[in-house]
Amino acid sequence: MALPEISLEDLDNDLDLHVNLILSNLSVSPEKLKEIQELTSKDKTLCQIIQYCKNGWPEHKRSVSEDIRPYFPLKSEIHVINDIVFKSNNIIIPESFRNTILDIIHKGHQGINSCIRLAKTAVYWPKIDSDIEKYVGQCNICLSFRRNNSKEPLLHHDYKLLPWNKVGIDLFDFDGGKYLIVVDYYSKYVEIALLKCGFASNLVIVQLKSIFARHGIPNIVVSDNGPPFNSSEFRSFAKDWDFQHVTSSPYLSCSNGMVERTVGIVKNMLKKCHADKSDPYLALLMYRNTPKLNHYSPAELSMSRSLRTVIPITESNLQFKAINNKQVQETIEKQKVNSSFYCNKNRKQLKPLSVGDKIMFKHKPNGTWVPGIVSQVGPEPRSFIVNSPEGSFRRNRIHIIKPSHSLDLSENHGSLPSSNTCDDNTSDVVDNTDNTDRSRYGRVYKKPSRYVESC
Ligand SMILES: [Zn+2]
């Protein structure tokens, strides 16, 4: 039996039904719909597409102009209803209206991927994904609330195989007392001094003078950037006593790691002595006289001899002893590689920064990210001077974000992008994919790349 013939009138009715269905499904206000219609009529590319939809598309992609080419493979999905161009059920947004749509999509400040998924439920234009990536990547609100940078790979302090050439200094409280601690990077020989009344510059300086008079003046003294080490008295002391004073960035106590660890060891020792009422000075003497993994004790590395303790010892074991520096060096290198390998598993190298870079930085360690401009790089590794309307601040790289897109610091968003971009959460990280190793569970271990502790 022959199929019933479809009249042109029926076909028109069907099309009207289809058009009405799409239009009735459009959750767009009449004003916005009118705006899209008007802007579509002014959009050269979309006007040409409307013509192709009416009169037929050319057979070959090369026959259409550059701006039409991205639409050519989609031509079977493209249609025009009421002067609005659709790709299937999604409105193709004219170029001049795309920033408005991006603004609407990013209301609520969702992440890049959520915004892309949201956009795909309603609208379309070529490179919409990368436009969304750039728009979200430039949103100052999102940047200001971005989560903290991941820790960077360990940088180990470089030091010469020379006793008391480079020392770390710090202050700590114990049992109501205030203490100064000085540790030699090479020998790990530790000096502590009780400060009678607090951490005033002059008290700390007097104790340091006493220690330096005993061991010699170090070439480099490393401390944090807090008081009293940031005082003018301390600067004068460094100048008069001819040593280089290197400080770590604010809010980054871990960069003075060797001293921090030694403070932990010494405090633990003092606690135990306090608990069993034993002599803390004897404990300190034992610590200085105990061989480390490199087979030498801090006393041996510092003064080429063992110290007499209460342990019975022969005189020959108290004689001067030559230090095998090659052996010490090998142990140090081995320890660096081991600690870097285990500590760097979850750390990521952040992108380098240059003077003039527009960045976001942490004004307060627990605050939001605020805009600024890099005005100085270094001199300490990973340390930067950042200028902002509130003033100049020194910050470590971990407290700075370098957005993947140039920042418009005056407004929330810049103009529309033209190129592809990467994810906002990983954009600040150097791509080290070639420098990876995998565990037996498939997790990626980053192999160590540098061995200098961060400052
Ligand atoms: Zn945002």
Distance 412 CA to ligand 1 centre (A): 8
CA distance 341 to 290: 27
Location of structure tokens 């000096």: 191
Kind of pairing between the strands at 220-223 and 166-174: parallel
CA distance 118 to 128: 12
pLDDT tens digits, one per residue of 403-423: 776 655 444 444 344 333 333
Residues of the chain with pLDDT under 50: 1, 11, 409-426, 432-455
pLDDT tens digits, one per residue of 170-219: 999 998 889 999 999 999 999 999 987 777 888 999 999 999 999 999 99
Tokens coding 407: 């920042």
- Ion ligand 1: residues, Cβ under 5 Å: 109, 139, 141-142
The whole-number pLDDT of residue 426 equals 44
Distance 359 CA to ligand 1 centre (A): 16
Which ranges of 138-279 would DSSP assign to H, the alpha helix? 140-144, 201-215, 232-240, 257-276
Distance 394 CA to ligand 1 centre (A): 27
| Other residues' Cβ atoms within 10 Å of the Cβ of residue 315 | 7
Distance 414 CA to ligand 1 centre (A): 12
Distance 67 CA to ligand 1 centre (A): 30
The whole-number pLDDT of residue 301 equals 93
Taking the CA atoms of residue 128, residue 132, residue 133 and residue 139 in that order, the dihedral angle to the nearest 10 degrees is 160
Number of H helices, E strands in the chain: 13, 16
For 26, residues 6+ apart whose C-beta sits below 8 A from its C-beta are: 33, 91
The whole-number pLDDT of residue 415 equals 39
The whole-number pLDDT of residue 73 equals 92
Whether 199 and 227 have beta carbons less than 8 Å apart is answered as yes
Phi, psi of 304 (to 5 degrees): 55, 30
CA distance 349 to 20: 55
Distance 146 CA to ligand 1 centre (A): 10
CA distance 120 to 88: 11
Distance 167 CA to ligand 1 centre (A): 46
- The answer to whether the Cα torsion of 423, 425, 431, 437 is positive or negative is negative
Whether 353 and 401 have beta carbons less than 8 Å apart is answered as no
CA distance 80 to 65: 20
